[in-house]
């Protein structure tokens, strides 16, 4: 049952899943004047780029070798935009986190664990000892012509106790740490390859007015959103503004979970969250020997790059004050 | 106790008390020989060590494994192949043996593969013989080979430079 719900939310996983919708050519970065970026979402932009450059979504198999092609993994890239949709730059992502194999079974395990551990487990029935009455033998053992009975609240009696009924219990179990991190990696990859992942430079809102945020979401046609920001703290304005909007949630990156990611259609990460998630979700994996990953981003205007770093420092100061 | 063949058994005078014991002995020896013959024919015959040719890809020079333990670190750049095999967390080749079905089914599993799995399976066929049974799991990036081939496969991958 849970698995079919998963599949209905995970659409279009093709064979070329691991390569995803990212810009295949670095030259494209400087040809953006010709494209109407404000109206085109990253997914459409990348497909348009594909058509222009006649390149495919497959991994870059070079044809230099006579007999054998060479496997060259391409680093996935994503647009960085402002919340309004203005493109601000491009970031290179860790391919182990954002182009992992689509392991739906691992995501299923995570969701089952999540939903089980939050169960109240308060169901309870009375057994024959707890039902009121039934202490006396209803009729003598012999010579009544009836079957021998010991108590009126035995399970085969009407109004009797329940055999092995539910008792208050905990449905919690510990899912292995590595399975949990893998499930998050798979979920992020699924969102990225389906084009439902958007990276925003910062999720700091100017004011906490719900209507402003709702208008912005309607403009971008995000009717079901999950905002992920920071480590343990979200921007106060974002939290207040998104509280009352239906189908809109905001989470710190430590609280990211697969159930919420599948429930909400679009996933919006701040740059800070991307950096933290990539560091955290890669700890369980072995060290890379080739094509090591470096957090690289290129911004079209250099001013806001400094803002991104100052925000990190502000958050650290906030934590120290607490 | 010496293994007595059927012809010599007839020549020895058989006492009535030992008939039962000798009959059992005859039956057990015949049974084990028969089962051994069946097992030998059905089991996948492994290529003996001296017959394995590690030079599956002639355009890649095989590097020597100079260490005594048999472990060498991976090369600085990966070999020019359509697949890539990453090291495990303990920096070893991720080839594992698995035994199932009451110790009768031996498998070799190769994990942590990126790239073209079919090319890897073709390479394995050239290494281990054309009739080896290989199964591919694209979603998890596993290749499963029937039979216990961990040592030849790890050696081959180390020679390649993974």
Token pair belonging to B40:
């030998």
Q: Do B116 and A69 touch (CB under 8 A)?
A: yes
pLDDT at A262 over 60: yes
Structure confidence at residue A298 (pLDDT): 80
Which of B86, B120, B138, B162 to mutate against chain A (most A CBs within 10 Å)? B86
Question: For residue B74, how many other CB atoms are within 10 A of its CB?
Answer: 19
Contact call for residues B108 and B150 (beta carbons, < 8 A): yes
Contact list in A for residue B84 (CB cut-off 8 A) is 71, 73, 290
Q: State how beta strands A225-229 and A87-92 pair.
A: unpaired
* Complete DSSP assignment for A241-297: HHHSSTTEEEEEGGG--HHHHHHSSEEEEEHHHHHHHHHHHTTTSPPPSSS----EE
Greater pLDDT, B74 or A311: B74
CB contact (8 A) between residue A65 and residue B89: no
pLDDT by residue (tens digit) across B96-138?
Answer: 999 999 999 999 999 999 999 999 999 999 999 888 999 999 9
Q: Which of B77, B139, B162 to probe the A interface (max A CBs under 10 A)?
A: B139
Residue B69 three-state SS: coil
Q: Which candidate from B59, B77, B84 shows the least CB-CB separation from A67? A: B59
Q: What is the ipTM of this complex?
A: 0.71
Kindly indicate the confidence band of residue A37, based on its pLDDT and cuts at 50, 70 and 90. very low
* Whether the predicted model's global pTM rises above the 0.90 cut: no
Residue A313: its pLDDT value, please?
59
Does A282 lie at the interface with B, CB-CB under 8 angstroms? no
Spatial neighbors of B8 by CB under 8 A, at least 6 apart, are: none
pLDDT above 80 (res B21): no
The pLDDT of residue B22: 59
Q: How far apart are CA B56 and CA B119, in angstroms?
A: 12
Q: Do A289 and B140 touch (CB under 8 A)?
A: no
**Beta-carbon-side half-sphere exposure of residue B134 (alpha carbons within 13 Å):** 22
A286/B77 touch (CB, cutoff 8 Å), yes or no: no
Measured distance CA(A61)–CA(A77) in Å, rounded: 18
The band of A137, judged by pLDDT with boundaries at 50, 70 and 90, is very high
**A66 and chain B in contact, CB less than 8 A:** yes
Contact B160, B79 (CB under 8 A): yes
Q: What crossing angle do the helices spanning A271-281 and A177-193 adopt, rounded to 10°?
A: 140
**B51-104 confidence digits (pLDDT tens):** 888 999 988 899 999 999 999 999 999 999 999 999 999 999 999 999 999 999
Residue contact B114–A73, C-beta within 8 A: yes
pLDDT recorded at residue B77: 92
Question: Can you tell me the distance from the alpha carbon of A33 to that of A246, in angstroms, rounded to the nearest whole number?
Answer: 37
Q: pLDDT digits over A145-162, tens only?
A: 999 999 999 999 999 999
Q: Cβ of B114 and A71 within 8 Å? A: yes
Q: Please state the rounded mean pLDDT for residues A200-215.
A: 92
**Pairwise pLDDT comparison (B48 vs A34), residue with the higher score:** B48
Contact residues on chain A for B140, CB-CB shorter than 8 A: 101, 103
Best probe of the B interface among A64, A290, A291, A292, by most B CBs < 10 A, is A290
Work out the pLDDT band at B43, boundaries 50, 70, 90.
Answer: low
Q: What is the pLDDT of residue A322?
A: 60
Phi, psi angle pair for B128, to nearest 5°: -100, -5
């Amino acid at each position: 049952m849970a698995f079919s719900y998963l599949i209905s939310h995970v659409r279009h996983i093709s064979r070329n899943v691991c390569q995803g919708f990212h810009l295949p050519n670095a030259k494209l970065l400087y040809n953006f004047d010709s494209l109407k970026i404000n109206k085109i979402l990253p997914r459409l932009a990348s497909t348009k780029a594909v058509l222009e450059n006649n390149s495919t979504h497959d991994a870059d198999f070079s044809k230099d070798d006579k007999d054998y092609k060479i496997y060259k993994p391409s680093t996935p890239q994503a647009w960085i935009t402002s919340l309004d949709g203005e493109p601000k730059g491009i970031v290179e992502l860790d391919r182990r986190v954002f182009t992992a194999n689509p392991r739906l079974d691992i995501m299923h395990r995570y969701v089952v664990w999540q939903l089980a551990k939050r169960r109240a487990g308060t169901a309870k029935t009375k057994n024959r000892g707890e039902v009121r009455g039934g202490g006396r033998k209803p009729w003598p053992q012999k010579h009544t012509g009836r079957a021998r009975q010991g108590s009126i609240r035995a399970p085969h009696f009407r109004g009797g106790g329940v055999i092995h009924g539910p008792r208050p219990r905990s449905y919690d179990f510990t899912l292995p740490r590595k399975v949990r991190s893998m499930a998050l990696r798979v979920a992020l990859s699924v969102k990225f390859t389906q084009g439902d992942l958007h990276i925003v430079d910062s999720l700091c809102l100017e004011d906490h007015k719900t209507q402003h945020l709702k208008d912005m979401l309607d403009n971008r046609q995000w009717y079901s959103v999950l905002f992920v920001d920071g480590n343990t703290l979200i921007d106060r304005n974002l939290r207040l503004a998104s509280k009352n909007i239906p189908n809109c949630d905001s989470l710190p990156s430590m609280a990211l979970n697969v159930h919420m990611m599948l429930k909400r259609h679009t996933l919006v990460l701040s740059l800070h969250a991307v950096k933290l998630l990539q560091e955290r979700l890669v700890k369980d994996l072995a060290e890379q020997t080739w094509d090591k990953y470096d957090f690289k981003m290129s911004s079209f205007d250099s001013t806001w790059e400094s803002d991104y770093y100052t925000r990190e420092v502000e958050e650290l100061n906030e934590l120290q004050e607490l | 106790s010496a293994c007595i063949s059927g012809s010599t058994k007839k020549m020895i005078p058989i006492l009535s008390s030992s008939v039962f014991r000798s009959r059992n002995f005859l039956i057990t020896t015949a049974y084990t020989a028969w089962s051994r013959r069946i097992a030998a024919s059905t089991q996948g015959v492994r290529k003996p060590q001296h017959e394995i040719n590690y030079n599956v890809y002639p355009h890649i020079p095989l590097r020597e494994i100079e260490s005594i333990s048999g472990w060498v670190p991976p090369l600085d750049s990966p070999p020019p192949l359509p697949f890539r095999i990453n090291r495990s967390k303990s920096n070893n080749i991720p080839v594992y043996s698995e035994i199932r079905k009451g110790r009768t089914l031996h498998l070799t599993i190769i994990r942590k593969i990126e790239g073209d799995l079919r090319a890897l399976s073709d390479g394995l066929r050239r290494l281990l013989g054309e009739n080896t049974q290989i199964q591919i799991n694209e979603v998890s990036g596993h290749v499963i080979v029937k039979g216990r081939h961990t040592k030849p496969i790890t050696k081959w991958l180390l020679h390649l430079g993974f």
